[in-house]
Amino acid sequence: MEDINRTIEFLTGGVPDIFAELQENDKIGKLMNGLKKEGFIDKNTRLEDFRVLFGIPLREEYTPFIPVRWIGSKILLYFFLKELFPKKCFYQNIFIVPRLFVNRYNDPCVPPQTSLKKIIYSKGYYELCTLLNNYNKRTEIYSPVVDENR
């Protein structure tokens, strides 16, 4: 847990501008814009803060870090994270979520663990799958008649 805390502090603390800047039209920027458009994250989310989720440190000029405001359902936040993080580290990363995400009321956001059935019936599921597919090309879109054992 101490390693996780040190990593979060590094990513959100602000690093000097000694590295090349990423362009705004990178895949992370496109994913963020799609999440804004579909109403999953707040429209005021800064790209610099969103990139922290992907291990890209915040630059000093953009400190302090502003957690990403997830305004979609908590169930879909759980799905979003489960699809982005590798399986081997997903449950470890679930502990950092409250430090990186807030809900619409600015309270730390803790996504519930849930079943695939609840996820696929959630409003916005297909839109989120499409965004994730465009980002990482590995998300499968499940229909309501799927194997419940996933």
Question: Which pLDDT score is estimated for 94?
Answer: 60
**pTM listed for this prediction:** 0.80
Convert the pLDDT of each residue in 85-97 to its tens digit. Answer: 766 665 555 666 7
What is d(CA 143, CA 150) in angstroms, rounded to the nearest whole number? Answer: 13
Nearest to 100 by CA among 71, 67, 76: 67
Confidence of residue 8 (pLDDT cuts 50, 70, 90): confident
Q: 43-80 b/e with 16+ CB inside 10 Å = b?
A: eebeebbbbbbeebbbbeeeeebbbbbbbbbbbbbbbb
Greatest CA separation found in the chain? Answer: 51
